[in-house]
Amino acid sequence: MSAAEPATPPTPPTLNAGEDAAVIPINARRTRRRSPKPPGGTASMDTPPEGNPPRQSQPDSERQAVLRMVAEQMEKAFNAAGRTLSDDETAYVYRHTLGLVAHTLEGATVSGIISEGQRDELTALISGMREAPQHV
């Protein structure tokens, strides 16, 4: 150990400790509920834009091709961070994180932030993303 290094590691700040808190309380700024109707001029997320046909289920071969493309994009993103989804630990954390996102969507549905239909669409996307490690 050099003379410039401290003998003991510094103590990290304590979270939520009065005035020195490292967390910003978001409830202080949330004084009003979101309006259930969108402001003028914007489309509601509950209804698809006109001209878009309802989603049809994909044939298995097309679904597999889409899953491979999703896996390729996810793998590129992880490679940029020096990781790979072919690593068991990274794949586990990836899937666990997507589970947390799905859980958050459930909470958003119960809270009225998103509709059940929106939750179902997003959950379908997350389900496909969860399969990415199997395709790398």
User: If DSSP states are collapsed to H, E and C, what string results for the chain?
Assistant: CCCCCCCCCCCCCCCCCHHHCCCCCHHHCCCCCCCCCCCCCCCCCCCCCCCCCCCCCCCHHHHHHHHHHHHHHHHHHHHHCCCCCCCHHHHHHHHHHHHHHHHHHHHHHHCCCCCHHHHHHHHHHHHHHHCHHHHC
pLDDT given at position 55 = 54
pLDDT one-digit tens code per residue, 30-65:
444 444 444 444 555 555 545 444 555 667 888 899
pLDDT given at position 10 = 59
pLDDT one-digit tens code per residue, 87-123:
999 999 999 999 999 999 999 999 999 999 999 999 9
Neighbour tally for 87: CB within 10 Å: 14
Q: Between vectors from CA 46 to CA 40 and to CA 50, what angle results, nearest 5°? A: 75
pLDDT given at position 117 = 95
Higher pLDDT: 73 or 17? It is 73
Mean pLDDT, range 75-92, rounded to an integer: 95
Question: Which tokens sit at 14?
Answer: 């304590």
pLDDT one-digit tens code per residue, 121-133:
999 999 999 999 9
The reply to whether the predicted model has a pTM over 0.75 is no
pLDDT given at position 106 = 94
pLDDT given at position 104 = 96
